[in-house]
Structure 1
Amino acid sequence: MFLKYGHQMRFTETRNLLVQTITTLGTPSKENEGYFRFQCLIDGSSTTTLAVYGENIGNNLVELAFNIEAVAAALKLEPGQAREWVAAQRAATSREVHENSRWKYPRVGIGNEAELAAFLAAWRALATSTTVPASRSQPLSEKFTSVPYYVEADGSKTFFLPDLLRTKGYQVGTKNRERYFADYWDALAFLKDMDKPAFRRRNGNGIAGIVTCDHGNVEEVSISYLQRLLAAVATKEARDG
């Protein structure tokens, strides 16, 4: 299926299969010299959940390095459950791995197409077993949803989060074509339909202005985190009301 065109092509096609299958660990980064990672926003911080290595790994096709705590949070598992699952995948391939002593993320070595197919099947089974139906207060069925962000002049990221609520609602859209939404989820859906999402926020000096996100500047954010922010905003509104 993909073991045909040399090491780089093998890694690229392996990446495509992983990205197509692993949809609950956040947004995949671009491939960079035989490396990419999945990241999502967990409790307000952009966190690496899974790092994938294709260089300096001996005879392995790829090595998958799992941030156990982050994977557990993404799948709503206990860390021990996530650790046991990763250990089972390590045992299934019995591949020598090249773990980084600094990060201490346990790795799973995958050496061929059959091992990759078995891993992807195991991942689908795990992800399916942890899926829960949405509640009435949670309009989305996923555990994470993509949220656009704007890169400020200092390099920090401003995400479109519930605390950007203004007096008239959430202000989104390009300058002179703004729209207000009372509901955060409606505003977020509107932004997702834009090629380059634009919204109003206050900068570090407290000055409000419309900012336009670069194409592709989105990260996966925990819906439970967004719901906590919405609850906090509602509490503040009621208190200040």
Structure 2
Amino acid sequence: MTHTPDIQRPDHRLVEALREIGTATISGELRNLGIRNAAITGPRALTTGRISAGPALTLQFMPMREDQFGSAEYDDPEKQLHRHVLYHAQKGDMVVVDARGDMDSGIFGEMMLTYFAGLGGEGVVIDGCIRDSAKARDLGIGLWVRGVTPNFHAQTNIFPFAVNVPIACADTFVVPGDIVVADDDGAVVVPAAMAEQVIEVGSRHAEWEGFSRLRLSQGGDLRKYYPLRDDAEAEYLIWKTRGGS
């Protein structure tokens, strides 16, 4: 089992700018920048109406093999690696877990998630399940999971293997320190080195969409306003100059 050092966290302003843009625009703009699929497909929002964003702490699970994970982990809880990813957590962090899509193991329960929330954690994205879900919803953190279960984290088919290593969460590549943004549409992964570029193009996209949304709500021509056609550009610039009014 592998346990590696803490992550390198991006500037907080980048995280907040990406939060404002949202997952749908980020996903589309990343595709235009060459990242074909940044979405983590599978985990869904258990805490709807929430937008979480932050650097990724990662946890990797592997198929159970008893010589690698056995009773010693319960004699000495410090040998349980799913605890150690939380030990690294700081305010604003996201925990991303490759739990192999397993639906029988609850990666974290109420007590672990309470600890994470107490540190100021933003949210968790798990290709798998949690337990104690009713109480977990009340902790003030974002939860994106495949489902819920009463079972504990290594009760059936998987066990925690590595912390803060590159993982494949629902077949999406995640590097520790990547910026993860999650909302009701799901979670997307922004490579830290591309954050500035995504913000630049994504902010402009979000801005002209605001203009287009207004015009469409007023009965404007879909062909003209979405996407913004060349003959609507001058109108958009006037709207922008007037502060969006």
Instruction: Report the TM-score, using the length of structure 1 for normalisation.
Output: 0.27
TM-score, scaled relative to structure 2: 0.27
